[in-house]
Structure 1
């Protein structure tokens, strides 16, 4: 094993241990000090709270790293299939450690945070990342997929509001719900044409045929699988936002008025 591969393995293991530590020690310690409502949560809610806190930290960390690569890593942008994968592999190694850590927590706390779609999502991503880490292929596409993590903090913040007792029709929760839907759409749905057009541009080139069949399957099938789930989640989020906004509208319309103004 070459020294860089050893480094990537070390980063993945360190990432796994770090996210386990954040879940079991750091999140509970910080949460009960900055949010008094945390102590009033049920055991299942505390498990999900800590899981979402960790996923928020991971999303911000790798998301910022992704943007740096997207804007400043010329080697990856110029050759999306075989460009120098050094920075991408480092970022993917961090995510690999997180995904394995999160899978372990999902299975262990299945009654609290178990979700078959998240299991499929994590396994599909890990299958694709195996080829990125093992053979350094497709760095641009691996990095592009990680941009979707920017939607995670908004999704989690909405859950935090709700579990702490903010009604869905409250202004903070409504504003966060709209922001969540917009961000989710922008980083997971609106970017699909860009992603697949770049994939189509690469298809049939010499660089494409250098990718082994397993890598092509991991690349194409994992992308389609993940985006089907993204569309399902977007549909669910949009329906939820519509119901909340509609409920708020009718609540406002039914409020007694005086001199043409609501109280």
Structure 2
């Protein structure tokens, strides 16, 4: 009972249907990743003649980025719906504190995302460092740590969904890698994708995080009602992710300037 209380009154360990739903959504996320990984390999071998010429390591990353893109689209669309289109987090929709609001759908979204991060992290560690270095391990570890807390407690889901929306930049990152591997680094599509990535990152991972901190500050009286571990995680994890986002944004900006400069000189 003490453990249940520490996670907030919204969580009830005696409710097996919730546990089944959460575990089911995590398992669903894992299954989707496996299916999309296989489908990416099949479709790529049929639609892209250069796929067969890739090395085994490149094929693994190519397919891995397939389910990464799938999750990014899923997470960004569902987060946008829950935050903007639904009334779960509307100011006057409920009397309950905004940090305590959740729904069956939001729980399912978080569970599926845990399944994705768990699958991707497993692949990263198994093939380390081919699919990403320690920065990816840190990013995925912090993401799962935060999402699991929000799922179990039912608290601070509004902030977790804001961060999940930042996954909307991932398809541009993956497309840039695919174009590079396909030998299309000098194409107009590569340049325009770089421009979209720059502005997408600026909006979803810089400006949105600024709004994130402003929202926390203006609702700090509610944020303080989050159970202790969740409260301190809200104070510690987002700043770390922000520093990583700023560092990657700097690299994206440098890459875009370099690509545009090369394109101008080649004309």
- What is the match of residue 105 of structure 1? 123
**Contact 2:206-2:245 at 8 Å conserved across structures:** yes
Give 1:215-230 correspondences, 5 Å limit. 215-230=230-245
Q: 2:212 aligns with which of 195, 205, 209?
A: 195
* SS of residue paired to 1:245: helix
The runs of 5 or more residues in structure 1 that have no matched partner are 253-263
Instruction: Give the distance between the partners of 1:11 and 1:116, measured in 2 at CA.
Output: 27
Instruction: Give the distance between the partners of 1:40 and 1:75, measured in 2 at CA.
Output: 49
Q: Does 1:165 align with 2:178?
A: no
Q: Does 1:76 align with 2:89?
A: yes
**Contact 2:69-2:170 at 8 Å conserved across structures:** yes
- What is the match of residue 53 of structure 1? 66
Deviations 1:79-107 (A, max 9, x none): 43112343322111110000000011111
**Contact 1:124-1:225 at 8 Å conserved across structures:** no
Instruction: Give the distance between the partners of 1:10 and 1:27, measured in 2 at CA.
Output: 24
- What is the match of residue 140 of structure 1? 158
The runs of 5 or more residues in structure 2 that have no matched partner are 1-12, 92-96
* SS of residue paired to 1:234: helix
Instruction: Give the distance between the partners of 1:103 and 1:38, measured in 2 at CA.
Output: 24
Q: Does 1:6 align with 2:20?
A: yes
Deviations 1:137-165 (A, max 9, x none): 00111111111111011111111111001
**Contact 2:117-2:140 at 8 Å conserved across structures:** yes
Deviations 1:65-123 (A, max 9, x none): 11111122323233431123433221111100000000111111124213211100011
Instruction: Give the distance between the partners of 1:111 and 1:144, measured in 2 at CA.
Output: 29
Q: CA deviation at 1:193?
A: 2.1
Q: CA deviation at 1:226?
A: 1.0
RMSD between superposed Cα atoms in Å: 1.5
Q: Does 1:119 align with 2:137?
A: yes
Q: Which has more radius of gyration?
A: 1
**Contact 1:77-1:140 at 8 Å conserved across structures:** no
Q: Does 1:64 align with 2:77?
A: yes
TM-score of the superposed pair, with normalisation by structure 2: 0.88
State the 4+ residue runs in structure 1 displaced beyond 4 angstroms.
none
Q: How many residues align?
A: 248
